[in-house]
Amino acid sequence: MNSSTRLPQLFAQIAAIGYDAVHGGYRRFAYSDEDRELRTFFAQTVSELGLTLSVDTANNQWAWWGDPDLDPEHNLVLGSHLDSVPAGGAYDGPLGVLSAICAVEQLLRDGFRPRAAVGIANFIDEEGARFGVACLGSRVLTGETTSTRLEQLRDYDRRSFGEVVRATGVEPTQLRRDERALSRIGRFVELHIEQGHQLISLAAPLGLASFIWPHGRWSTTLSGVPNHAGTTPLAERDDPVIKAANFILDLTACAERHKAVATCGKIVVEPNAVNAIASKVHLWVDARAEDGDRLERLAAEIGELAHGYGGVLVNESLTPATVFDTELTGRIGSILGHLPVISTGAGHDAGILATHGIPAAMLFVRNPTGVSHSPLEDADEEDMAAGVDALIRVIQGLSG
């Protein structure tokens, strides 16, 4: 079976997991039942291929073709993540994992013998949709996020990270940097759906990543005085929802002035009653800019805005500008015939690995809608098959 039939078959196997029939798209949060099903799918699929499965001390899954400790510097790891944002698309994450499985499967069938081990990673909690910190699997793996921070995290139900993780049979206090797993990632290549329109404009099915914009997440809480919606005159209200609305308009204008982007996509209103003025509004801000100075200035101004409405802006995570390995990217470019090289505002585990000195590169597959983090995300079958073919050639070229 070639990739044009095998890849859709793999997608079909996970299609029902976390499908959100109400909003469309997928809800596949880390450490949920859906995540457990996806991890079981990964483990079974790679075992059927004869790969060796391991789980690192950050709870990421690894499937190895060959002994990863024999010549670790020359190992080549592919993969991505299987979790999603709420109402996420089908491709952000799974495309990278499933394409890697297809590529390895094809090469096994062809009798190819890699020079060093080839791995496939399934990073846990890339989206940070549950606990608020993106790329948690790679951040714990690299030691960037430590147990002190993990202990502070809470999910949407205010359940602590420790409680949620322990319920899945994993001891949260054991989650930490994994030297051995890190030493095995000689090179990392993450294939991903493009989250934008650049490849459409360039009429190219595939592209390579140059760098990731610096980005971060912040939170704040605005308070007011809860009261009756019918009996409190407008002039006498202290309504935190009005403050939140103005804060969002202000931060949007601020991002525009800085030629950056800022988004408030998550808001929790307390107590969330239709006929009551709220007591509190919790807001989460995602801000990204082309360079670090600009992001710093933007975050400082958003902090002042929050302060003006009585809130304190707290940083939840910050990722500096990430430049992918130019040598690795160049080699992939020559193997694949000089693809367009594009930057991205989206964060990825490959970026976290790159900031920790691991040679990492990314391949993007064209997305006909250009939309992502939404059920409207899309990919054409021929482009996805071209992505698998590219991974096959990358393995042959780098590990042959």
Nearest residue relative to ligand GLV (C-beta):
347
Distance CA 341, CA 295 (A): 23
Q: Is 347 in the site for ligand GLV (CB under 6 A)?
A: yes
Q: Under 8 Å CB-to-CB from 334, ≥6 apart: which residues?
A: none
Report, in Å, the least distance between residue 344 CB and ligand GLV.
8
Contact between 362 and 99 under an 8 Å Cβ cutoff? The reply is no
Binding site partner of 379, from ligand GLV, Mn ion, none, Cβ cut-off 5-8 A by kind: none
Instruction: Annotate 105-143 with three-state secondary structure.
Output: HHHHHCCCCCCCCEEEEEECCCCCCCCCCCCHHHHHHCC
Report, in Å, the least distance between residue 257 CB and Mn ion.
27
Q: Under 8 Å CB-to-CB from 188, ≥6 apart: which residues?
A: 77, 78, 121, 350, 353, 358, 359, 360, 361
Binding site partner of 93, from ligand GLV, Mn ion, none, Cβ cut-off 5-8 A by kind: Mn ion
Contact between 340 and 198 under an 8 Å Cβ cutoff? The reply is yes
146: amino acid identity, one letter: T
Report, in Å, the least distance between residue 54 CB and ligand GLV.
25
Nearer to ligand GLV, 38 or 134 (CB): 134
Q: Is 34 in the site for ligand GLV (CB under 6 A)?
A: no
Binding site partner of 363, from ligand GLV, Mn ion, none, Cβ cut-off 5-8 A by kind: none
Tell me which of 127, 144, 178, 389 binds ligand GLV, using CB under 6 A.
127
Cis, bond preceding 271 (omega within 30 deg of 0) = yes
Please list every residue from 268 through 327 that binds ligand GLV, using CB under 6 A. Answer: none
Q: CA 43, 360, 333, 70 torsion: positive or negative?
A: negative
Nearer to ligand GLV, 361 or 392 (CB): 361
Mark 136-157 as b/e (b = at least 16 C-beta within 10 Å): bbbbbbbebbeeebbeebebee
Nearer to ligand GLV, 278 or 379 (CB): 379
Phi, psi of 364 (to 5 degrees): -105, 145
Report, in Å, the least distance between residue 58 CB and Mn ion.
17
Binding site partner of 239, from Mn ion, ligand GLV, none, Cβ cut-off 5-8 A by kind: none
Q: How many residues bind ligand GLV (CB under 6 A)?
A: 4
Contact between 18 and 26 under an 8 Å Cβ cutoff? The reply is yes
- Which two structure tokens, joined as six digits, stand for 134? 């993106």
Q: Is 134 in the site for ligand GLV (CB under 6 A)?
A: yes
Nearer to Mn ion, 216 or 224 (CB): 216
List the Cα angle 393/399/400 in 5-degree steps: 75
Strand partners, 341: 208
Nearer to ligand GLV, 114 or 216 (CB): 216
Report, in Å, the least distance between residue 287 CB and Mn ion.
16
* Per-residue binder mask for Mn ion (CB under 5 A), 76-115, x = binder: ----------------xx----------------------
Nearer to ligand GLV, 94 or 224 (CB): 94
Task: Give contact residues for Mn ion (rule: CB under 5 A).
Answer: 92-93
Task: Give contact residues for ligand GLV (rule: CB under 6 A).
Answer: 127, 134, 346-347
